[in-house]
Amino acid sequence: MPSILLLSDPVLEKLRISGGATLHGELNASGAKNSAVLMFAASLLSKEPVTISNVPHLRDITNMIELLGSLGVEVVVDDSMNIEIHANTISSFVAEYDIVKTMRASFLVLGPMLAHYGKAIVSLPGGCAIGTRPVDQHLKGLRALGTKIEMKDGYVHASVENKLKGTHFIFDFSTVGGTEHLMMAAVLAEGQTVHENCAMEPEITDLAEFLNKMGAKVRGQGTNTIIIDGVEEMHGCHHRVIADRVEVATYLIAAAATGGKVKVKGAQPEHLGAVLAKLQEAGAEINICDEGIELDMKNKRPKAVDLVTAPYPGFPTDMQAQMMALNAVAEGTGTIQENIFENRFMHVSELLRMGANIKLDGNTAIVTGVEKLKAAPIMATDLRASISLVIAGLVAEGDTLVDRIYHMDRGYEQVEEKLRMLGADIERVPG
C-alpha cells in the first residue's frame, strides 16, 4: 500500500477533549466518502483507467483500496489523494469476508463485476452496530436482471450467461445502496432498465454522473425513477466527488452546540436543506455564500428541535446522533424519531453517562436539554455515534476521553486538526 495511505492504528488511541471552547473559524469540506467508495466499485465496469479526485483520506477508503488490490486491480494514489484505478489487471472475482465485514459498501463490487465479467463471488456483509441491514433488495434486483444467485458458506455466488438483461424493477422501499448497486449493474445490460421507488440521495446522483462520464446512459437520478439504457462498454474518465454533506453538517451542528460561528468552505448547501432548516429552528443564523455555508449562533444556547429521520430529502439518519448531542444541551425538550435503522441510538447510553436527560421510547428519544454536560470516559459504537460523543465532549465541563475512535476514523478526515483550527482543545492520546 502506498505510504501516504498508512493511517495510525486507532485501536490503540483515544480522543481527549477539554470542553468549553466556542467554535469559531473556517474549514474546508472533505469529499464524500459515501460517493467515493461507490465509484471505486464502479471502476470495475471499465478496462480503461478512471481517476477520482477530492477523495477523503479515511479508513473506509483504504479498506476499499485493499479490496480492489485483493482482486488484482491496480490502484495508484498521489500526494493529493487523486486516485487512479485500472481494473484491466483484475485476476480474482472473489471479495473475501475479512474485507467485506469491515465495510458494507464493499459488497457493492458484486454488481459491477457481474455486469462486466459475468461472474462474482462476494461475501455477505452481515449485520452491524446500527442494525441487521439485509441485502434482499440488492439480490432481488440482480435476479430481475437475469442473474443466477446461489448462497454458499456466507458467500453470494452470482453468474450470468452472456449479459444481464434490462428489466423493470420496483424497490419495496427506499434503499441507498440498493439503488446504487442495481444502477451500476444495469449500465452494461442488454436493453433498457427502469428502476422505480429509488432512493434520491445526492451520492446516488454523483455516482450516476460518474457512470455517465464513463459512457453509461443513466437518467432520472435524484428522482425516484431511474432509467438506464445499457451500453456495450464503459470507458475511462475523471471525476471529482461532491462535498461530504454529513461531515459539513457535523461541523455546523458542533459549532451551533457551542454557540459559535463557522464557515465551511466547499460545502454544497443544496444537499443540506433539511439540516439547515433544523439548525435555523435551533436558533442559528445561516448564510449561504459563494464559498460555502456560514453558521452563526451568536453565543446563544441552542433551542431543542423535534426531528424525524427519513430518506432524502428528509432529515438524514447520518446526522441524527449529532443533533441529539445538540439537543442534550439545548433549551427545552426535543423529540428525535429514528426511522431508517433499528438500532441507531447507541450513543444515548454514553450521553446519559455525561449527565444528559434522555428518555427512550422505542424508536423515539425524548431529549430535555441540560445547562452543561459533565465529562466522562465514553465509548464510540459506530461512525456517527462517535462524532456525536465528540460534540458532547466539546460542550461538557472537564476532560472527556472517547474510546474506540476507530469508528470515527472510518468517516471523518483529520477531525482533531479541523476542530483545533476552530479553537477546540482536543488531542489523540495513547489508549
Which residues would be at the binding site for ligand EPU (CB under 6 A)? 34, 37, 104-105, 131, 133-138, 175-178, 199, 203, 316-318, 340-341, 383-384, 411
Q: Using DSSP, state whether 180 is helix, strand or coil.
A: helix
Nearest to 115 by CA among 49, 45, 183, 169: 45
Nearest to 48 by CA among 80, 22, 86, 18: 86
114 contact partners, CB below 8 Å, separation of at least 6: 120, 142, 147, 158, 159, 160, 164, 185
CB of 285 to ligand EPU, least distance (A): 28
Rounded distance between C-alpha atoms, residue 106 and residue 210, angstroms: 18
206 versus 296: smaller Cβ distance to ligand EPU: 206
125 versus 302: smaller Cβ distance to ligand EPU: 125
CB of 174 to ligand EPU, least distance (A): 6
Rounded distance between C-alpha atoms, residue 358 and residue 326, angstroms: 12
Rounded distance between C-alpha atoms, residue 14 and residue 2, angstroms: 26
205 versus 317: smaller Cβ distance to ligand EPU: 317
82 versus 339: smaller Cβ distance to ligand EPU: 339
Other Cβ atoms closer than 10 A to 22: 17
CB of 386 to ligand EPU, least distance (A): 10
Burial track 244-283 (b if 16+ CB lie within 10 A, e otherwise): bbbbbbbbbbbbbbbbbbbbbbbbbbebbebbbebbeebb
CB of 39 to ligand EPU, least distance (A): 12
* Cell of residue 270, nine digits: 443544496
Rounded distance between C-alpha atoms, residue 165 and residue 37, angstroms: 26
341 versus 345: smaller Cβ distance to ligand EPU: 341
Rounded distance between C-alpha atoms, residue 54 and residue 367, angstroms: 37
270 contact partners, CB below 8 Å, separation of at least 6: none
Q: Is 128 a catalytic residue?
A: yes
User: Do 243 and 272 touch, CB atoms closer than 8 A?
Assistant: no
Rounded to 5 degrees, φ, ψ at 206 are -60, -45
User: Do 64 and 37 touch, CB atoms closer than 8 A?
Assistant: yes
CB of 34 to ligand EPU, least distance (A): 3
User: Do 321 and 344 touch, CB atoms closer than 8 A?
Assistant: yes
User: 202-213 and 176-186 are packed helices; what angle lies between their axes, rounded to 10 degrees?
Assistant: 10
CB of 413 to ligand EPU, least distance (A): 13
Rounded to 5 degrees, φ, ψ at 211 are -60, -40
Q: What's CA 203's distance to the chain center, in Å? A: 9
205 versus 375: smaller Cβ distance to ligand EPU: 205
250 versus 301: smaller Cβ distance to ligand EPU: 250
Exposed, middle or buried: residue 314 (CB in 10 Å: 0-12, 13-18, 19+)?
middle
CB of 141 to ligand EPU, least distance (A): 9
25 versus 131: smaller Cβ distance to ligand EPU: 131
Which residue's CB atom is positioned nearest to ligand EPU?
A: 177
Catalytic position from the list 128, 198, 237, 289: 128
CB of 399 to ligand EPU, least distance (A): 27
CB of 15 to ligand EPU, least distance (A): 18
Q: Using DSSP, state whether 354 is helix, strand or coil.
A: coil
Give the residue numbers marked as catalytic.
128
